[in-house]
Amino acid sequence: MNVTLWGTRGSLAAPGPETMRYGGNTSCVEVRAAGRLLVLDAGTGIRRLGDTIERDVGRVDVLLTHLHMDHIQGLGFFEPLFWPDCEVHVWGPSSTTMSLHDRLTRYLSPPLFPVRLRDLACNLQLHDVVPLRSFSIGEVEIQTRLVCHPGPTVGYRIECGGASMTYLPDHEPALGAEDYLGEHDWIPGIDLAEGVDLLIHDAQWSAEEYPRYVGWGHSSLPQALDFAAAAGVKKLIPFHHDPTHSDEMLDRLFDEQEGSRELPFELVRAAEGAVFRLPGG
Amino acid sequence: MAQSQVEIILLKQLASCLAMPMLVVGAEGELVFFNEAVESLLGLRFDDLGEMGLDEWPATLGMTDEDGGQVSDADRPVVAALETRRPAHRRVGVHGAGGVRRELAGTGIPLVGKDGQLLGALGLFWEPQSSWGAPRDDLGGPHEVELILMRRLAGYLAIPIFMVDASGRLLYFNEAAEPLWGCGLEEVLSIAPAELYATLEPTDEEGSPLKLDAHPIEAARARREPAHSCFSMRGLDGVSRNIEETAIPLIGQSRRLLGAVGFFWEIDES
């Protein structure tokens, strides 16, 4: 299983000299396994990903965690959507009263976007993941759960040939709980992340910032580390960096955490463009 | 962050997750939030309206009594719940989406923080949906996020609350509920449900044994609609108490039954 980061930033794209190393594109991760191409979220990073996809790919699966703008803003610029010979399957959450199609149409339609879903050249198929708990794309097995974030939001666990990864880019498991790790079955998202080779998890805030943003749906870096430890993951990529966090600030935040505790997993300071090859898959 | 803000954050996020039409009012009866199910019912979006005072939101939302007439503030379930600090129930009318008038069961549940401060009230409109599905087959293991949020909210409230899963198994009760049970949560969780119910010896208002399926939380779970009654219950400390309970089912984002939650008040007959 190969995992490539195309966008690691949260909330708002943040290009600029101060974010050159970790990157300024919003959430997008490419997963290649067993001949399949999965794209996790469609932030601005998806545009550059689209430029690299082979023209005869045949099928692409886009797995959206939720429909906040930073996770779908690049979708209309994803090249395979305009290939008549390509199947594009978009998976994502419906809400309690609206289908995924209707929710996506709110963005992919005027006045917000000049192109409508029905005008796309590809063979577009939409799938609502909320009623599902698991599904497969070829030999790739995916589990999905609703997680703690404003609005219908899911996380994904992807497994193939013995390799596993979990994607929880927007997640606030500590919301309203002083000791949210105390009881395993009461930790949101824990079963998605249990024992995976690679966890990509929300770490938008510093510890000092988090109290000001309780309820916004994001975690602090220490909270992400705690969650990863509780889940027993092998590697953690802190993700969804706040747009105001420069490369230097991120370096400092990571240095502080690595210097202050022993971690039972590898903490990877992953930047946009980083590639991970997971054993198996 | 002010303590009451955390409760409201949890309440809003919980309401957003649930498929039942729910609205939240503050301590003065001002409209703080309503969820997507209410939006669909009324054809109005909360984000377009924003928070509104009590003098404004009932008319804006098209609320009437069951005959289409005016209803006084005191008779609105959420306002009555705020004033009496007890649950309130009545039939209400709404002018719904497309101008269709609908009659619904309305329930107001007051919310009181651990410091005794009235935080506001939760309002539910009840119209069972045929699209609400049965629970999952694979119960057990880590809990759904809706149940987690409900538990966290309950932990902040002074109202005794307990929660069961979709099969009726007791999952949680908060610190406020411990005096009614006469023990802590860990002791109760270790007792098998049938044995636990027998130990509690619940009786109805006539003193007859209250069958399990007549107990509000079981009725809410099994019939997927709010239930309310008064009964007596003997805690594990051997003390009998008179209880008023309002229970609601929890229908999650997946539109499946996740469980049910009961809100208790001890009736002080003095």
Look at residue A270 in the predicted model and tell me its pLDDT: 86
Please give the average per-residue pLDDT across A246-264, as a whole number.
96
- Report all structural domains of chain B as residue ranges with CATH numbers, in order of start: 3-126 (3.30.450.20), 145-266 (3.30.450.20)
**DSSP 8-state assignment for residue B256:** B
Greater confidence (B55 vs A40) lies with A40
Q: What is the structure's pLDDT at B191?
A: 75
Q: Which residues contact A262 (CB under 8 A, 6 or more apart)?
A: none
Q: Read off the pTM.
A: 0.94
Per-residue model confidence (pLDDT) at position B136 = 73
Please report which confidence band the pLDDT of residue B255 belongs to, taking 50, 70 and 90 as the band edges. confident
Q: Is B47 exposed, middle or buried (0-12, 13-18, 19+ CB in 10 A)?
A: exposed
| Beta-carbon separation of B35 and A151 below 8 A | no
pLDDT at B62: 80
Rounded to the nearest angstrom, the minimum Cα separation between A178 and chain B is 10
The alpha carbon of residue B127 is apart from the nearest alpha carbon of chain A, in Å, by: 14
Nearest to A146 among B138, B152, B253 (CB): B253
Inter-chain residue contact A187 with B10, CB threshold 8 Å? no
Q: Give me chain B's average pLDDT, please.
A: 87
pLDDT for A51 beyond 70 = yes
Q: What is the tens place of the pLDDT at every residue in B103-127?
A: 888 999 999 999 899 999 999 988 7
Q: What's residue A244's pLDDT?
A: 97
Task: Kindly determine whether residue A186 and residue B148, on different chains, have CB atoms separated by under 8 Å.
Answer: yes
Contacts B48 to A, Cβ<8 Å: none
Q: Is B218 on the interface with A (CB under 8 A)?
A: no
The rounded distance, in Å, linking the Cα atoms of B197 and B249 is: 19
* pLDDT value of position B137: 67
Region A2-277: CATH code:
3.60.15.10
- Beta carbons of B6 and A211 less than 8 Å apart: no
- CA count, 13 A, side-chain hemisphere, A51: 6
Per-residue pLDDT tens over the stretch B127-178:
766 667 777 766 677 899 999 999 999 999 999 999 999 988 889 999 999 9
Beta bridge partners of A156: A144, A167
Structure tokens at A228: 């990863």
Element spanning A106, H or E = helix A100-107
Please report, as a single letter, which amino acid is at residue A22.
Y
Residue A97 has pLDDT above 60, yes or no: yes
Predicted confidence (pLDDT) per residue in B178-189, tens digit: 988 888 888 888
- Is A146's CB within 8 Å of B149's CB? no
The tokens describing B206, both together, are 């006539």
